Amino acid sequence: MFLIGAFIIAASLIVLKLNMKAPSIEEQLRLIDATMENSIASNLMTEIENSAKFSVDQKTSINNDVFDFANFTERKAGEHGLEFLFLFVGSYANVSNSYLNVSVINMLNGPISVTLNLNDGSSAQTNDMIDNTKWDTNFTFTPGTNYNLTVSYNSTYTQNVTIKTKNNKDIYVSFFDITLQTSNAVYTNKTQDTYKLK
């Protein structure tokens, strides 16, 4: 009797244990890899936005600094197995000459045709903007007026950028569309920031 009962209980415990799974080494490493990927992506995304933020004291070099850091990001992301895709629009409203200078950076791994439409009816367009290039164009604006700049490319992508100009201060508006991806995960971030310039 004792033996039979003990055998049944022991057999149940053994079957239960065999069906429990320990986290395999592959799963652990995958989890850590995914966590590291996420951390690196977050670091690069934060700093690429900082490249504009830290440059606002030198108004004329903001777009070039962003372009510079974007190229740095592309190289470093590649070293960590991440593909980098980037669209940037920088708008500088200069009250002294009433020019709205707009720069577009294409790092989408292919040529794009870009159209910019300002809600006052003015527009600008460039066809076949090649990868890893910056395009600069100008609009005129009335200081103190709010504008909506619609950015579109290849008839598949549209983004609105709000530009609230001031009467007596230059402003800079940055728009970032960042993607970092591997075969397993995609990290994306779209942000818009406005800076009052000195």
Partner 1 sequence: MKGISYTLEAVIAVSFLLLSLVFFFKPFNVQDSSEYNYKKITYDSLKALSEGGKLRQYTLNNDATSIKNDLTTYISFLDYDVVIYNKTSNLTAIPTISDDDVISVSYFLAGEAGNYSAKEVRVFVWGFD
Q: How far is the CB of 14 from partner 1 (least distance, A)?
A: 6
Q: Determine which residue in the list 34, 37, 69, 126 makes contact with partner 1, applying CB under 8 A.
A: 69
x-or-dash string of contact with partner 1, 28-67, rule CB under 8 A? xx--xx-xx--xx--xx--xx-xx-xxx-xx--x---x--
Output helix, strand, coil percentages for the chain, rounded to the nearest 5. Answer: 35, 40, 25
Q: How far is the CB of 180 from partner 1 (least distance, A)?
A: 12
| Strand runs labelled E in 9-156 | 83-94, 99-107, 112-118, 123-129, 133-140, 146-153
Interatomic CA distance for residues 73 and 84, integer angstroms: 8
Within residues 70-89, the interface with partner 1 by CB under 8 A covers: 72-73, 76, 80
Instruction: Classify the phi-psi angles of 146: left when phi > 0, otherwise alpha if psi is within -120 to 50, otherwise beta.
Output: beta
Interatomic CA distance for residues 60 and 108, integer angstroms: 24
165 near partner 1, rule: CB under 8 A: no
Interatomic CA distance for residues 92 and 87, integer angstroms: 17
CB closer to partner 1 out of 72 and 187: 72
Number of residues that bind partner 1 (CB under 8 A): 43
Angle at 51 between CA 46 and CA 53, to 5 degrees: 90
Q: How far is the CB of 66 from partner 1 (least distance, A)?
A: 9
DSSP 8-state code for residue 151 = E
CB closer to partner 1 out of 2 and 96: 2
Q: How far is the CB of 110 from partner 1 (least distance, A)?
A: 24
23 near partner 1, rule: CB under 8 A: yes
Interatomic CA distance for residues 74 and 97, integer angstroms: 35
Question: What is the contact surface with partner 1 in residues (CB under 8 A)?
Answer: 1-3, 5-7, 9-11, 13-14, 16-17, 22-23, 25, 28-29, 32-33, 35-36, 39-40, 43-44, 47-48, 50-51, 53-55, 57-58, 61, 65, 68-69, 72-73, 76, 80
